[in-house]
A and B are shown apart, each in its own frame.
Chain A
């Protein structure tokens, strides 16, 4: 960790709340990126960013200067994003879906993104991709995203998700297996 980050954290712990703003400004982009990739939704990602930095502030005493602040807050963001996906899944399971039309299933994309992103997501491949990702459990989705899109190592994924590295690996295997099955059926339908 840079000396500056260390000094900034010490200042926050001594009561200088404003100093935390420096850490927030420095790490917001990377936290947003991983939050967006795991949640797949811009509005959820913004909430995750906010929640991650709030949790980080509350837990700052527990921060160990062996690791860097950016790695530490990144892990917190991953957990927050996982919680968000879990919450969303629970909410969705409460909704009564009566429409069993397979077409409905392939184009239903939860999305609160602005128009530019909406257009992109509505393109056929994006809809297929998102539909496939929806077959995963939150843990599988997070593990796969970290491996496939964030290029994290198995050890880093285990640490970020609070699971054994072997469990992280198994989650990735299951995710890839499910995604391929789903892609195959979607490609046949389209």
Chain B
């Protein structure tokens, strides 16, 4: 008689066995003994109890991961075949225009080379200012988004918010001074506005608590500060491009 292998006994244990395995076990004492030993060993390997988690465990997990999740842009369905060709055509036309503009720019650059060398230093300085402002607005936007979505009762969010606000206060002051110097009233006003919120976040008397966070969220939503910062950020690429082209013209 051919005995069952260990693999066949394992299949039997987990209910994956062939029909004749059960019959064989009834008639073969050796295999029945081997099967009983397997059952005993596998019973020893039953799991320890999983540590208990309370009913609000799901909410606790959410509060831990929620600040780590990036904002999601709405999912755009795939383009149709015709739409894809149109997009490709547009891209090709854009590439051609860019190539033409680049060639024209090189010619123009060559002619202007001597005239612009003397003013090379100033654009570099402007570029640094623009990069600082861009970075400041990026970080401010992130902070405002975090504040907007913060759960007021989540104590873990308080310390990072406060520290980031304190760090941003210094750069906000520098950017405001620069905005005043260059005579940009819209930017100056927005940075003043931002300064008020950062100051409250950084130096809330008695520390930040759920009530203070809720109040700041209401204020922020009411006066459209986040929107204002986003509008300012959207202006940055134009400034940067203008400064960059000026710089390039002077140094090539």
Contacts and interface: CB of A to CB of B under 8 A. Distances in A.
A115 to B, nearest CB: 11
B53 interface: yes
Contacts of A33: 50
Contacts of A24: 58, 61-62, 65
A14 B65 contact: no
A183 B39 CA distance: 13
A121 B47 CA distance: 11
A28 B61 contact: yes
Interface string A1-29: 00000000000111101101100111111
**What are the 4 closest A-B residue pairs judged by CB atoms, nearest first?**
A25-B58, A28-B58, A21-B62, A149-B47
Interface of A: 12-15, 17-18, 20-21, 24-29, 32-33, 36-37, 42, 49-50, 53-54, 57, 60-61, 113-114, 117, 120-121, 125-126, 128-129, 132-133, 145, 147-149, 154, 169, 172-173, 176-177, 179-180, 183
Contacts of A27: 58
Given A28-B61, A50-B64, A57 B51 contact: no
Nearest to B14: A147
Interface in B18-72: 38, 41-42, 44-51, 53, 57-59, 61-62, 64-66, 68-69, 71-72
A172 B9 CA distance: 12
Contact of A50 (B42, B65, B71): B65
B66 A17 contact: yes
B80 interface: no
**Most chain A CB within a 10 A radius of its CB, from B41, B45, B66:** B45
Given A32-B53, A53-B61, A154-B16, A18 B74 contact: no
Contacts of A176: 6, 10, 38, 42
B149 interface: yes
B45 A126 contact: no
Contacts of A121: 48
B79 interface: no
Given A20-B69, A147-B14, A15 B74 contact: yes
B34 to A, nearest CB: 11
A24 B56 CA distance: 11
Given A26-B58, A49-B61, A32 B50 contact: yes
A29 B54 CA distance: 9
B223 interface: no
B75 interface: yes
A13 B249 CA distance: 45
B50 A37 contact: yes
A13 B74 contact: yes
A65 to B, nearest CB: 13
29 contacts: A13-B75, A15-B73, A17-B72, A21-B62, A21-B66, A24-B65, A25-B61, A25-B62, A26-B58, A28-B57, A28-B58, A32-B53, A36-B50, A36-B51, A50-B65, A57-B69, A120-B49, A128-B44, A129-B45, A129-B48, A133-B45, A145-B47, A147-B14, A148-B46, A154-B16, A173-B7, A176-B38, A179-B41, A180-B41
